[in-house]
Structure 1
Amino acid sequence: MKKNGGEEAKVERKTVEKNRRMHMKSLCCKLATLIPKEENKSSRDVYNPSDHLDQAASYIKKLNERVEKLKQKKIAAMKTQGLDKDINGAKMKDLSLPVIEVRELDSVLEVVVVSKLNKPFMFHQVVAVLEEEGALILNASFSVVGDKIFHTFHSQAVGSRSGLEASSLSERIRELVL
C-alpha cells in the first residue's frame, strides 16, 4: 500500500515540475517577444532562455541609462527656462506669481492667469472684470497642476467698442489676484 502512495506522489511531483517548466518556458518566450529586434542578438532559431534573460537584462540597463540621460536633459532645459527644480524634481522655484498674460488677436482676447494654489482668487471676479470692460466670454477654464492654478479666459469685444484695452484689463486683474 505504501508503494502505491509513493508512486502517486512521485507522479504528482513530476507533473507539478513539468507544469512549472512549461510555465517558465512560456514566460521566457513572452520576455523574448518584449525585447526589440535590434536588441535580440540571437540569430539562431534555437530557444535558449539564458540568452533571452541576458538580452532582457542588458536592454533594461540601456533603458535605465536612457531614462537618466533624459532626466538630466530635462533638468538642463528647465534651468535654461528659469524653472529650476530640486534634486528630486518635486518642487519648482516660484516664478514671480501671479503671472497675468493678456493677448489680443483682432477682436478676440485671451487672458491667462497663473496663481499659487494657496492664494486663490475668485474665478467669477475675473469674468466680471472682463464683462465690465465690454467682453463676451467665449470660453473659460482652469486647471490645477502641482501647487499652481492655470486660468484661461477667451473673450470677444461686444457692442460698439472696436477692441478691449489689454493694459487696463491686465491691471484690474492684477489687483484681484494680488
Structure 2
Amino acid sequence: MESNPSSSSRTDRKTIERNRRNQMKVLYSKLNSLLPQETSRDRTSLPDQLQEATSYIKKLQVNVERMKEKKDRLMVGMERLGSAGSSSGNGSNRIDVHVTGSILQVVLVTGLDSQSMFNEILRLIHEEGAEIVNASFSVVDDNTVLHTIHAQVDQSELGHGHHKAARISERLKKFVHDADHGAF
C-alpha cells in the first residue's frame, strides 16, 4: 500500500512550520532575557516586546555614541596636556568619576609607570562591593595612559546604591590625590 505523496508533503510542511514557530519562540525569549527587567513581560504582547527591544537597542546606541564623543574629548584634552609638558611628575594623575544611579564611570589618566595605580583603583572598587563591568586602557603618548572603568553597585542596595556609588567616588578621588602627594 502506497502512501499519498501530497499527505506526506503536507505533514512535512506542518512539521517544518511548527519547528519554525518553536525556534522563533526561543529567539524571542533570548531577546527578552537581554532586556532590563523593569516590568513583567509575561503579559506583554510580542509586538510590544519587540518594540521595547528596539527602543532599548536605540537607547544603547545613543549611549555608546555619547561615550565615544566623551572619550574623544578626553583624548584631545590629553594631547593638549602632553604638548604642555604636564603629563609627568607628581600631580600628573587625574581621575574623573561620574555617578549615574548605581553606575560608576571612572576615567583615570596616569603615566606609563603607574599601572599599580590602575590595579589599586580596581581593587578599591571591588572592595567596596561594586561589580566591575568593564575595564580598559589606551596608551595616548610616550608617557600617558587613559584608563576607563565601568562598575555597578549591587542592585540589592537599590535605595542606597547611589549613596554607595558616591562614597566610592570620593574614596577613589582621595586615593589619587594622596598618591599624587606622596601618600601612595
Task: Identify the TM-score tier after normalising by the shorter chain.
Answer: 0.3 to 0.5
Larger RCO (CA within 8 A; separation ≥ 6)? 2
TM-score by length of 2: 0.43
Q: Which has the higher helix share?
A: 2
TM-score by length of 1: 0.44
**Larger Cα Rg: Structure 1 or Structure 2?**
1
